[in-house]
Structure 1
Amino acid sequence: MTGRRRADTDRSQQLVRDQLDAQAVLAPRFARGAFGERQIATALMALTRPDGAGRQRWFLMIDRAWPGTRSANVDMILIGPPGVFIVDAKEWTSQPQIHAGVLCAGLDNRQAEIAKVKAMIRPAQHALARRLQIVADIVHPVLAFAGHSVHRNHQGVMLLGVKELRPTLAGELPSRLSTADVTAVHEVLAQVYPAYEPCNLPADRVAVQAAAQVAGGLFEPQDILDAEVAAATARPMERWMTFLHASQLAIVRRTYTGPARISGPAGTGKTVVGLWRAVEAAKNTTGPVLLTSLVRMVPRVQARLLHQMRPDLAHRIDCVHVHGWAARFLAERGIEVAYDAAAAENEFSHAWLAMRGSPLAALDPRPVYWRQEIDVVIKGRGIAERGQYRASARPGRQLRLTEGQRDLVWDLYERYQQRLVHRGIADAADLLMRALAEARREPPQPGYGAVIVDEVQDLSLTALRLVSAVAPPGANGLLLIGDCRQKIYPGGYRLSDAGLSITGGRSEVLTVNYRNAPAILDAALDVIAEQRLEDIDGTMVTGRPADLAVTHGAGRVVRVSEETESQLENQAVAAVRELAAGGGYGEVAVLCYRGAQARRYAALLRREGIPVVELDAYTGDPTDRVKVGTWHKAKGLEFAHVLLPGPSSAITDAAKGYQSDDESATLARHALHVAMSRARLTLWLGETSRAPAKPGALA
C-alpha cells in the first residue's frame, strides 16, 4: 500500500472499532437496549474467523425467526466442529443458580427458560435428521448469561457465562462435524431459521470503549475488532452488501433540507447508505419511496436486499430502473409509447447509410459514436432545435465539433427521427423525454415520499430532470448517489443544468473503503490514477483520491499470462475451483468486457460441471453458483473473488486511430476500474500473449 493511500493509523483503527456498533443495524435487537446480547455475540463472533488455510469452520447466525411461531425469535445459532448451539442470551440482574432442581435468578423461578430453549432446538434436530441424516444430539441448547460467570449443565441445557462461552464451546467439546459438514448444516439451518429483522434502526449509539468497560475487560480491544470484522466479512456476499458501518449511521438518519448527494470512491458504502436511507424514508413518510438507477439489474438486486433487511417495509420501496419506471408511468397514464430498442437501432443504421460518406465518417466511421451523440447530447439534454444544439455544451464528449459538423449531426438526427416516426416506434431516450413531459404536466399520484438515485453519474440530463420532477419538494425529497470515477456511459451533465444546487451540509463524501483488500484497491485505482475528472457539481477530482482509507488487509491480486486463449480458459477454470473450495461457488464471479466473451465463459464453466448463474438472471438471492456477466452488468455488485479474463481488451479496443479514441479509452478505463473494484479478497487478471500481460496502467 502506497503512502498516498495509507490512512492515519489511529483513525483507521477507530473506524474499525466502530464496526461493533454497526451490529445494532445487522442484528437490530441490540438496538433496543439488550447490551448483554452484544457482549455474547462479540464472544461468539471471535470463533468465525477463517483458519490458517482460509476455511470457514464456524458460522454464527444472529436474530433468526423461530419456526412455528408468529413473532418469537432465536437470539443466536452457532455452528462449528463440535455441533450446533442454539443460544438464548440472558441479561439477568441476579446470578443464575439452581435451587432444588429449579433454575432461579435470585428468588425468581426461571425454570420456564429451560423448556423454552429446548423447544427452540427441535426444528434444527428434525431438519438435520431429515435432510442430512445427522443425529439429534448434535444440537445443543445454551443459555448464555451476560455479566455473570457460570459453567454447568442443567437438564440437558448448557448454562454458560460470557467468559465461559468460547473456552467451553471451542475447547472442551470434541469435534464431530467436518468442515464440509459444518457448511452443509449452516445452509440447512439458514433456511429453517430465516432472518428475522423487523425492527428500527438504532435510536442511540453505544461506543466501543463503553463495550469494553461493560465487558469488564473480557477481551482485548483487538479481539473485539477481529471478531466484528470476521463476522461481517464471513457472511454470504448478499448479506455483506447490506452491512452498514457505524460511522455511516448519522448519514442514514440525517435530515437534509433539500436535494442531497452522497459521493465517494468504489467500496465506500454509498449504495448501502442509500438502501438504509430508503428504509428510513419508508418508516418516516406516508408515500412510497422510489429507488432507481440506470441499469436494469441494480434495482432488482436491491429489491431483494431490502426484503432481507426489512421485509415489513420492502413493499413500500419501489425499486425499478429509470427506463422501466418511465414506461410504467406512461402506461398508467394511458400514453402509448412503442419502445423498441432493436427496431430503433435498425432505423438508425439506415439513417447512417445516407451519411457515411459525409465528413462525420472521417472523424469517426463507427456509427455507435454518432448514435451516442444523439442519445446523450441531443435527446439526452432535451435539445429541440438546430440552433440550440450548435450552442450547447457537450459534457463528457471529448471530440470537438465545429458548427458545420454539428449541422451534419443534426441532419443525421432528423433523418433518424423521421424514420422512427414513420415506423411509429420510440427509442430509450424518447421514452424518458415523454415521461418527463408528462411528469411536468402532472406529477405521479400518490406522490413519492422520497426519491433515491444510485449511480447517478450514468444518467443523462433528461433522466436526472425526470427523477427530480417526481421527487417531493422539501426535506429528504431527493438523494443522488454516485462516483464520477465509475462513470461508464458516454455523455454527462452538471447538476446546475437540471436546476439543482447541492452544497454545504447536503453533500457527503465517503472516504473509507470497506470492501477491497489494499492490493486490489491499488490495482483498481492504478487504471484511472492519472486522470482528472469533472464531477457533476463542476469540481475536478483525481482518479486516485488522496484521503482514501481501508479497513482490512487480507487479499491478493493474481496475474496470469498464457500463450493461447484455450490455455487461459483452462487456468480460469482451475482458479474458479480453487477459489470456490474456500467458500463455495457463490463467492466467485467471472466478468468479461464483451457479452460474447461472457457467454463463452458461462458455457465453458457449465461444460466443466461448474454451476453458473448469468448476471442477467441474478436476483440477489444467495446461490452457490458462479456469477458470470459483463463489466457493465456487474455495476453496483460485489463478490469475494473476481476473475477478469482479457482485461486489456478494453484498452486495446479503444485504440483504433480515430479522433474519438481518447473518450473511448476514458470510458474503457472506468469500466475496467469498476470491474476490478468488485473484488473483495481475490482479483484474478488473465491475459494471452496476443495482448500485453500488464497493459498500460494495469502494470
Structure 2
Amino acid sequence: MMAKQANDIDGSVKQKAFTFLQKLTKDDAAPGLHIEPIHGAVDRRVRTGRVDDKYRAVLFKIDGQVPTYVLYGIWMHDEAIRQAKITSIQMNPVNGVVETLQAEAPEVVEPEPPAPPEPEPAEPPAPLLAVSVEDLEGLGIPSALARDAVGVTDDGVFNRLLDGVPPWQSEALLALATGSGLEQVRADLELSASEDATKAASEDEQLIAAMEKPASQMEFAEIKGVDELRRVIEDGDFGAWRVFLHPVQRMWVEKENNGPFRLSGGAGTGKTVVVVHRARRLAKDRPDQRIVLTTFTRNLADDIASSVKRLDPQVPLVRLGDQGVHVTGIDALASAVIRSARPQDLGLAAKKVLGTARADVGGRVDNHLWNTVAGEVAELPEKLRNPKFLESEYEMVVLPNGIVDEAGYLRVRRPGRGVRLNKKARQAVWKAVARYREEEALQGCADFAEKAAIAAAYLNARVADEGHVADHVLVDEGQDLKPTHWMLIRALVGERKDDIFIAEDGHQRIYGQKVVLSHYGIATRGRSRRLTLNYRTTAENLRWVTVLLQGVSYEDLEGEEDTVDGYRSARHGVAPVVESCSGLVEELDVTAKTLNRWIDDARASGRSEALAVLVRDKQQRDRVVSGLNERGVAARAVDRGGVGAGGVDEPVVMTMHRAKGTEFTKVVLFDVEPSGVGRTPHGYDFSEEDQADAQKRERSLLYVAASRARDELVITKSSGHGY
C-alpha cells in the first residue's frame, strides 16, 4: 500500500526508492533494508527502512492474514525519524475511514493584527461554514478542528487550517465552504457510520478492510506488482490521478447507467481521469466488449491513449470493431468507418447526406473552398457573403437535417441561428451549398462534418444486417463536437445500458458550436453529474481563471446554464502575476527571466518540473522559441505528437489550442489580455449572436490555457502589439 504523501518523492532518490521497495515486496528481512521499529513512536506499527546513506523510508507494518506495508514517505534521515515518531494510521471512530494523523497539531495561523482602527462594517463577515460543531463531529471531523473551522470568516485562515489534515476531511470542509450541504458531503464521500461487523477481527485486520472505503482510498492505494510500483514512483505527483480517486470519481468509473450519461466539470476536475479509468474498468470487466473512446482532436486522442497505457499496460488498444479499447479522434473515427465500407454502400450513404451517390469522399477539402464559393455566388447578399457564416449554416442546419435540395432548405427551421433569412436569401445560400458540393465532387473529397454524417448514415443502414460496431462509447471534451459527430456517436452503438458516457465542460468550448444532445438521439436528462473539486491548479490560480468567465452565460450539452459555482481546490500557492510590457522584446526578456528563475529553483531543489509557454498561434510560437533561444533558454516548439517531459532543461512552447488536455507545473501565458475580452474575433460580423459566441470562445481559450498551470502562472501583456 502507498499513502498519497509518498507519491511526492525527491527526483534524486526515485530509482533507489524503487530498488528499496522492490526488495521489500520480496523479503522484508533482506540484508540492507534495515526495517526497524522506532522507540517512542505514537504508533506501534511504524517502521523505518534504509533507502541509502541519507534517506529513510517511513512505513507502517499492518499484521493482517498477510503482513501489509504502507509506505508513508521518504525523507532525509533526521526528518524521517521525526515523521515516524509523530505519525499514526488510525480508523476514524465515527465513519471508519482510515487516515494518517500527527501528534503535533498543525498551527492555526490567526489573521494579521488589525491596522489602526477603522469604522466597523455594518455587518460582521459571516462564517464560511453554515454548520455547527456537532454537525462536523457527526461527519467524523475531530472536535478541535471542528471548533476552529466553524468560526472562520477569512479564506486565508480557513485554507491554512486545512494544511496537513487527512484528504477526506479537507475535501469535506472545502465542499461545505463552497455551498454543499451536509448530506451531500456525506453521500459524495460515502461517510457511512462505522460498522461493528468486523469487531471479531483483529484491529489490524479491521484497518486493512477499512482501507477499501472510498474516502480511505483518497489517501491510500494498493500497488499491484513491480511494474505498477515503478510507474507510480516515476510519475510522482503528476501520476497521482492513476491511483488516488475521489469517491465521486470512483462512483462514475464504476456505476452502471441505464443509457447515456453526462459528466460535466471545470478544467482540472478530473473528467478525463474518470473517462480513462472507466475505459479500463469496462475492458477488464467485459473483455468481450468493443469500447470506443473518442475526443475532438488527434493530439488529445494520442494523449488519452498514452494515459490508458500508463494506467494499465494490459488494456488492449485495438482497431475499430475489435474487442478492447479503440482510442481515436472523432474525425479519424469517421474516416475509419468510411474506409471500412464497400463502395456501393458508401455511395448510398453519401446520397442520403449529399444528394449524390459518391464513393470518392475520402479526400481533404481545400480550407478556402467556402471563401471561393462565397465569391462566386453573385446572388448572396453582402452580409451573407461570409465563409464562416456559410460553413456554420452548413454544419448546424443543412447536414444535421439531411437536406439534399433547395426545397428541403426552404422548409427547414433554423432556431438559434441569429440571422433571419427570407426566401430569396435562402435560395442564394442554397446555391452556395450546391456549388460547394459540386466542387467537392469534382475534387473527390468531403469535409470532416460531411464525413461524420456519411459514416453515421452508413452505420445506420447496416445495423439491421450486421449490428452496431461498438458496445460502449466514451467521449472526452464533448463540448467541442459538432452535430454530425453526435450523429456518428449515436450510430456507433445501440440504445442499451452504458451505451454512451460523455465528459464535457461548456466553459472550454473552443471549437464547436452550441449543441443540444437530445436533438441527436442522446438523452442524458436525469443522468448527469457535475464535478467541482479541482485537482490540478492551486486555489489562487483557480480564482484567477474563473474570474475570466464572470458576466457571461455558458451552456452545457443539454442547453442548460453551466456555472462555475462551487468549484474549489485544496492546493495553495502563489498568486498569478501579470507582467505589463512595452512590446515583444520586453515580453521575451520577461519570459526568459521567468523561465530562468524557475529553472534555477528546480535545479537547486532537485525537483523535476514541467515548464511551458503558451501562445496564440504557430507563427507566434516560432518567434517566441527563437527569441528565448537567443536569450539562452533552450525552449522547443510543440505541435503534433506527444508533449514529452517539458522539463526544466527544455521548456516547451505551444499554442493554447494544442495545450488543451495537458498540464504543467508552471506556465507563462504570452501576450494576452488578462480580462479575456481584448481580442476581437475576425469573420464573425454576420450576426450579433455569432459574434457573441465567438467572444465566448476567446474567453474559453484563455481559460483553457491558464488552467494548464498547476503551481505558478505568469501572464505577459503588451501595449505594443497583439491588441
Q: Within the alignment, does 1:689 sit opposite 2:719 as a pair? A: yes
Query: What residue is the counterpart of 2:507 in the other structure?
Result: 485
Q: Tell me the SS of whatever aligns to 2:513.
A: coil
Q: Tell me the SS of whatever aligns to 2:524.
A: coil
CA distance in 2, matches of 1:445, 1:684: 53
CA distance in 1, matches of 2:480, 2:713: 25
Question: 1:335-414 maps to which residues of 2 (within 5 A)?
Answer: 335=343, 337-341=360-364, 343-355=365-377, 360-362=381-383, 366-379=386-399, 382-390=402-410, 392=412, 394=414, 397-414=417-434
Displacement of 1:332 in angstroms is: 2.2
Q: TM-score, normalised by structure 1?
A: 0.68
Displacement of 1:582 in angstroms is: 4.2
Query: What residue is the counterpart of 2:640 in the other structure?
Result: 617
CA 1:598/1:497 → structure 2, altered by over 3 Å: closer, same or farther? Answer: same
Query: What residue is the counterpart of 2:544 in the other structure?
Result: 523
CA 1:378/1:319 → structure 2, altered by over 3 Å: closer, same or farther? Answer: same
Q: Tell me the SS of whatever aligns to 2:712.
A: strand
CA distance in 2, matches of 1:304, 1:441: 34
Q: 1:185-212 deviations in whole A, cap 9, x for unaligned?
A: xxxxxxxxxxxxxxxxxxxxx9798788
Amino acid at match of 2:428: L
CA 1:387/1:515 → structure 2, altered by over 3 Å: closer, same or farther? Answer: farther
Query: What residue is the counterpart of 2:620 in the other structure?
Result: 597
CA distance in 1, matches of 2:624, 2:473: 38
CA distance in 1, matches of 2:273, 2:73: 35
Q: 1:461-493 deviations in whole A, cap 9, x for unaligned?
A: 111011111124311121111011111124232
CA 1:148/1:349 → structure 2, altered by over 3 Å: closer, same or farther? Answer: closer
Q: Within the alignment, does 1:428 sit opposite 2:453 as a pair? A: no
Query: What residue is the counterpart of 1:107 in the other structure?
Result: none
Q: Please tell me whether the aligned partners of residues 256 and 497 of structure 2 are also in contact (alpha carbons under 8 angstroms).
A: yes
- Among all aligned residue pairs of Structure 1 and Structure 2, give the percentage whose two residues are the same amino acid: 22
Q: Within the alignment, does 1:572 sit opposite 2:591 as a pair? A: yes
CA distance in 1, matches of 2:99, 2:331: 52
Query: What residue is the counterpart of 2:706 in the other structure?
Result: 676
Q: 1:523-582 deviations in whole A, cap 9, x for unaligned?
A: 22222211122322122234xx22222221224311111111121122122222323444
CA distance in 2, matches of 1:449, 1:143: 50
Q: Please tell me whether the aligned partners of residues 339 and 428 of structure 1 are also in contact (alpha carbons under 8 angstroms).
A: no
Amino acid at match of 1:636: G
CA distance in 2, matches of 1:449, 1:492: 27
Question: 1:153-232 maps to which residues of 2 (within 5 A)?
Answer: 162=60, 170-172=76-78, 223=164, 225=166
Query: What residue is the counterpart of 1:296 in the other structure?
Result: 298
Displacement of 1:274 in angstroms is: 0.7
CA distance in 2, matches of 1:168, 1:656: 56
CA distance in 1, matches of 2:508, 2:495: 29
Q: Please tell me whether the aligned partners of residues 88 and 144 of structure 1 are also in contact (alpha carbons under 8 angstroms).
A: no
Q: Within the alignment, does 1:532 sit opposite 2:553 as a pair? A: yes
Q: Within the alignment, does 1:498 sit opposite 2:520 as a pair? A: yes
Amino acid at match of 1:274: V
Question: 1:551-562 maps to which residues of 2 (within 5 A)?
Answer: 551-562=570-581
Displacement of 1:43 in angstroms is: 6.8
CA distance in 1, matches of 2:504, 2:48: 52
Q: 1:677-696 deviations in whole A, cap 9, x for unaligned?
A: 2222222211111369xx9x
Q: Please tell me whether the aligned partners of residues 300 and 620 of structure 1 are also in contact (alpha carbons under 8 angstroms).
A: no
CA distance in 2, matches of 1:158, 1:57: 15
Displacement of 1:143 in angstroms is: 3.6
Displacement of 1:398 in angstroms is: 4.3
Q: Tell me the SS of whatever aligns to 1:516.
A: coil
Query: Which has the higher mean CA deviation after the structures are superposed, 255-264 or 217-226?
Result: 217-226
CA distance in 2, matches of 1:636, 1:572: 23
Query: What residue is the counterpart of 2:665 in the other structure?
Result: 640
Q: Tell me the SS of whatever aligns to 2:293.
A: strand
Q: Equivalent of 1:654, from 657, 671, 681? A: 681
Amino acid at match of 2:76: A
CA 1:486/1:160 → structure 2, altered by over 3 Å: closer, same or farther? Answer: closer
Amino acid at match of 2:33: P
Query: What residue is the counterpart of 2:654 in the other structure?
Result: 629
Q: Tell me the SS of whatever aligns to 1:290.
A: strand
Amino acid at match of 1:239: G
Q: Tell me the SS of whatever aligns to 1:646.
A: coil
Query: Which has the higher mean CA deviation after the structures are superposed, 235-244 or 301-310?
Result: 235-244
Aligned alpha-carbon RMSD (Å): 4.1
Q: Please tell me whether the aligned partners of residues 664 and 710 of structure 2 are also in contact (alpha carbons under 8 angstroms).
A: yes
Query: What residue is the counterpart of 1:135 in the other structure?
Result: none
CA 1:669/1:150 → structure 2, altered by over 3 Å: closer, same or farther? Answer: closer
Displacement of 1:217 in angstroms is: 6.6
Q: Please tell me whether the aligned partners of residues 613 and 654 of structure 2 are also in contact (alpha carbons under 8 angstroms).
A: yes
Q: Please tell me whether the aligned partners of residues 640 and 681 of structure 1 are also in contact (alpha carbons under 8 angstroms).
A: yes
Q: Tell me the SS of whatever aligns to 2:576.
A: strand
Displacement of 1:457 in angstroms is: 1.5
CA 1:337/1:475 → structure 2, altered by over 3 Å: closer, same or farther? Answer: same
Q: Which runs of 5+ in 1 are unaligned?
A: 1-36, 49-55, 62-76, 91-109, 119-139, 175-205
Q: 1:32-57 deviations in whole A, cap 9, x for unaligned?
A: xxxxx34xx46756x75xxxxxxx57
Amino acid at match of 1:461: P
Amino acid at match of 1:482: E
Displacement of 1:169 in angstroms is: 5.3
Query: What residue is the counterpart of 1:311 in the other structure?
Result: 313
Q: Tell me the SS of whatever aligns to 2:76.
A: helix
Q: 1:227-273 deviations in whole A, cap 9, x for unaligned?
A: 98899999567525546324321111101011111111222111111
Query: What residue is the counterpart of 2:331 in the other structure?
Result: 323
Q: Tell me the SS of whatever aligns to 1:632.
A: coil
Q: Equivalent of 1:438, from 436, 444, 458? A: 458
Q: Tell me the SS of whatever aligns to 2:514.
A: coil
Q: Please tell me whether the aligned partners of residues 149 and 162 of structure 1 are also in contact (alpha carbons under 8 angstroms).
A: yes
CA distance in 2, matches of 1:645, 1:415: 41
Q: 1:378-398 deviations in whole A, cap 9, x for unaligned?
A: 235543343444454557744
Query: What residue is the counterpart of 2:436 in the other structure?
Result: 416
CA distance in 1, matches of 2:240, 2:568: 19
Question: 1:235-246 maps to which residues of 2 (within 5 A)?
Answer: 235=235, 239-240=239-240, 242=242, 244-246=245-247
Q: 1:1-54 deviations in whole A, cap 9, x for unaligned?
A: xxxxxxxxxxxxxxxxxxxxxxxxxxxxxxxxxxxx34xx46756x75xxxxxx
Amino acid at match of 1:652: R
CA distance in 2, matches of 1:395, 1:59: 61
Query: What residue is the counterpart of 2:282 in the other structure?
Result: 281
Q: Within the alignment, does 1:78 sit opposite 2:108 as a pair? A: no
CA distance in 2, matches of 1:396, 1:522: 32
**What is the number of residues matched between the two proteins?**
548
CA distance in 1, matches of 2:416, 2:696: 10
Amino acid at match of 1:284: D
CA distance in 1, matches of 2:423, 2:581: 49
Q: Tell me the SS of whatever aligns to 1:653.
A: coil
Query: What residue is the counterpart of 2:109 in the other structure?
Result: none
Q: 1:561-608 deviations in whole A, cap 9, x for unaligned?
A: 111112112212222232344447861222222232123223434455
Displacement of 1:658 in angstroms is: 2.8
Q: Which runs of 5+ in 2 are unaligned?
A: 38-42, 62-69, 81-90, 107-162, 171-217, 222-231, 318-323, 344-358
Q: Tell me the SS of whatever aligns to 1:141.
A: coil
CA 1:400/1:235 → structure 2, altered by over 3 Å: closer, same or farther? Answer: farther
Q: Equivalent of 2:693, from 663, 666, 675? A: 663
CA 1:495/1:144 → structure 2, altered by over 3 Å: closer, same or farther? Answer: farther
Amino acid at match of 1:630: T
Displacement of 1:345 in angstroms is: 2.4
CA distance in 2, matches of 1:59, 1:411: 68
Q: Please tell me whether the aligned partners of residues 481 and 512 of structure 2 are also in contact (alpha carbons under 8 angstroms).
A: no
Q: Tell me the SS of whatever aligns to 1:442.
A: helix
Q: 1:357-376 deviations in whole A, cap 9, x for unaligned?
A: 6554335x653343333234
